[in-house]
Amino acid sequence: MNDFELENMREQMTTLKNKLNKQTIVNDRFIRQSMNKTAGKISHKYHAILFLCIGMIPYGYWCFVKLSGLPVSFWIATSIFMLVCAGATYYNSRNLNDIDMQRQNLIEVSRKMARAKKFDANWLFIGIPAVMIWMAVFFYFLYQANGSTLQEGIFWGGCIGGLVGATIGIRMHWRTQRQYQEIIDTIEDITKE
């Protein structure tokens, strides 16, 4: 092998290394953009929940007090519950909003995603019993307001609404948990390399 062939091989190796480095950078950027997109979906869901929680306050007054004749105290308790839900949602969304996955350390991003996922999972231990208590109180006040001639439409509407809401809520919860895990798994794969 002469010097010319050796020099030619070195140049080819350098060119190959540069292409591989560029490919790694492009792959890293693509993966980070994908994680940002997934985090954006979760963030949009949280914004929708915040909007619904805040919007439920005036709607609840009209629906519960004006339309159904329930006591104002029930509406106040429901409004406080909605504000607590909005506060918890906002608190957890902060883990997503202050993350710039394009520039931030992936270990820190993974830690924040794990924290948000855990908070989201733990919220069920508060949310489900609170909603069950709320439903029981709702039916109690509905019975008190209408006596033994409980309006079947409102009762069955509340039951069906509760079941539909629970189904949608559980599906959203599992989808969000999957999205969090997707981001965490992707970061683990990147950091292993």
Q: Where are the domains of the chain?
A: 3-192
Computed over its alpha carbons, how large is the radius of gyration of the chain?
Answer: 26
Show the CA angle centred on residue 189, arms to residues 183 and 193, nearest 5°. Answer: 145
pLDDT digit string (tens) for 151-180? Answer: 667 777 778 888 898 899 899 899 999 988
Residue 72 — very low, low, confident or very high, per pLDDT cuts 50/70/90? very high
Measure the CA–CA gap between 20 and 41, rounded to whole angstroms. 32
Q: What is the structure's pLDDT at 118?
A: 92
Residue 89 pLDDT greater than 70, yes or no: yes
Q: What is the structure's pLDDT at 103?
A: 64
Residue 81 pLDDT greater than 80, yes or no: yes
Mean pLDDT of 38-61: 90
Contact 158, 142 (CB under 8 A): yes
Q: What is the structure's pLDDT at 102?
A: 57
Phi, psi of 88 (to 5 degrees): -65, -40
Proportion of the chain above pLDDT 90, given as a percent:
24
Residue 19 — very low, low, confident or very high, per pLDDT cuts 50/70/90? low
Mean pLDDT of 38-62: 90
pTM of the model: 0.74
Alpha carbon 17 to its chain centroid, in Å, reads: 41
| Residues 6 or more apart in contact with residue 49 via CB below 8 angstroms | 85, 86, 89
